[in-house]
Structure 1
Amino acid sequence: MSAAFTLVLLCAPGFADHHEGDAKAGEPIVLFDGKSLDGWTAVLADDTDPKTVWSVEDGLLRCTGRPKGYIKTDRQFKNYSLSVKWRWTGKPGNNGVLVHATTPNALNVWPMCQEVQLMNGNAGDFWVIGSEIKIPLEGVPGYEKMVQGRRHLNFVDGAENPVGEWNEMTVICRDATITVLVNGKLVNYGFDSTVTEGSVCLQSEGAPIEYKDIVLTPLAD
């Protein structure tokens, strides 16, 4: 596993002048302005008013966690580094960051995507939703315990801060690869993803949570 981590780090992409649509490589795009949900659209499992689930206060994006659903960026992205900070504001539970989200309702309310888990104690797991991904552990003893149906466990325990403190997740999407860091620690790496572009989404999945500093930086070729 250390060899796999080393490979990921050596292949980490740099930034240079390059355009991805109207986004310039290396120039951060602030997805959440701390004032409103401009640029985001809410999707919920029922007809609950989204304003009772998602709100903005004191520069933070707050989510009650119920009902299930998500907010998605109105723009779609490919090849980028995404940084998201989150903390639990009550009893910790389950939520996630969805990347490469496209087809709606691929699995119940969830769109086709790759989910990067935020669930307390499991941040960095992959959950495939209408998609596939591989992790570089095939042939390693215990591999079958790391891939459990749609779930691909992260490699590192103890990366999360205590409940109530802020955490930072970085998700680097490069073509069909996804690299995940939690609080600066490399925790997961996937390749041969069957989805490689789409919206970025934040889940509402059962627990109250706050988000801030949601920034996407396009990558160079």
Structure 2
Amino acid sequence: MRTFLAVAFTSALATLAAGQPAAPVPLFNGKDLTGWKAFGRLVKDGPTTPIDAKDTWSVTDGVLRCTGKPTGYLATEAEYGDYELTLRWRYPAGLKGGNSGVLLHVQKADVVWPVSVEAQLRAGRAGDIWLQTAAEVKLTVDPARRDADDKTKRHVWRSPKDEVVERPAGEWNDYRIACRGGSVELAVNGRVVNGGTDCNLTRGRIALQSEGTDVEFKDITIRPLK
């Protein structure tokens, strides 16, 4: 059965086809996990399976909270291509570090981690790109931003690499992710920090990572692009 969110996105596509700008569609309704499904790895190095989302993910006052355990992700049931995704995220005040990510063009085999393009959210490194995995995902980027120490060539540094672009723990950050054809562009707090072209993945699910620490999300929207 098609979810309400998928139907709304299809309606927005029709608006775009009619020559009118498409409005953003809520991908997270701020009330519950309609349109999303949770996966996790309950045992280290064990299989990834569907899990009861409420053990990891909860919604309070329009905020989607993740405990970070077990390792896994919350994925949309629908697939998307050619879109602008916007969301806000934060780590709890006082947390010295945090880790999560936004997985783009997630393919059908649900494992930790699925074939996808990861828009990194690890504290201090938001805007980096990880290819999950480089053997299956291709993306053309500036060679200077390839991580020279990453022998698998999966990691692409944001630019500027070491400049602070994130806000302190406890404050909300803004992510804007544009995927059009084979191109991917990442902007953190209004600043374009990474991107690439000629990606061999152009469509798939969207997922939020559960990766060991508390993290919160809100205002998750998606807007079709030509």
TM range (shorter): 0.7 to 0.9
TM-score by length of 2: 0.81
CA offset digits 1:64-123 (Å, max 9, x no partner): 011111111111111000001000014432100011011324xx5221110000000000
Q: Using the alignment, how far apart are the partners of 1:147 and 1:155 within structure 2?
A: 17
Match of 2:115 in 1: 112
Give 2:158's match in structure 1, choosing from 143, 151, 154.
Answer: 154
The answer to whether the aligner puts 1:53 opposite 2:56 as a matched pair is yes
Is contact 2:146-2:157 (8 Å) kept? no
CA contact (8 A) 2:72 2:210 kept: yes
Moved more, 86-95 or 36-45: 86-95
1:95 aligns with 2:84: no
Q: Alpha-carbon deviation of 1:27?
A: 2.0
Alignment partners' CA distance in 2, 1:196 and 1:146: 28
2:39 pairs, out of 25, 38, 43, with 43
Q: TM-score, normalised by structure 1?
A: 0.82
Cα gap change, 1:179 to 1:51, in 2 (>3 Å): same
Letter in 2 for 1:97: V
Task: Please list, as runs of the form range in 1=range in 2, the aligned pairs for 1:73-92 lying within 5 A after superposition.
Answer: 73-89=76-92, 90-92=95-97
Point out where structure 2 has 5 or more consecutive residues left out of the alignment: 1-7, 17-21, 43-48
Q: Where does residue 33 of structure 1 map in the other structure? A: 29
For structure 1, the residue ranges without an aligned partner over 5 or more in a row are 1-18
RMSD: 2.1
Deviations 1:135-168 (A, max 9, x none): 1x23x5x756386621111112211111111001
Distance 2:77 2:109 in 1: 13
CA contact (8 A) 1:68 1:206 kept: yes
Q: Which amino acid aligns with 2:85?
A: L
Q: Which amino acid aligns with 2:28?
A: F
Identity of aligned residues (%): 39
Q: Which amino acid aligns with 1:128?
A: L
The answer to whether the 8 Å contact 2:118/2:130 transfers is yes
Does the CA-based 8 Å contact 1:94-1:206 persist in structure 2?
yes
Provide the residue aligned with 2:169 in structure 1.
163
- In structure 1, the residue matched to 2:220 is 214
1:180 aligns with 2:176: no
Q: Is the 8 A contact 2:9 2:25 kept in 1?
A: no
Match of 2:46 in 1: none
Once residues 79 and 129 of structure 1 are traced to their aligned partners in structure 2, the CA distance between those partners, rounded to angstroms, is 20
- Per-residue CA distance 1:120-139 (angstroms, 9 max, x = gap): 0000111001312121x23x
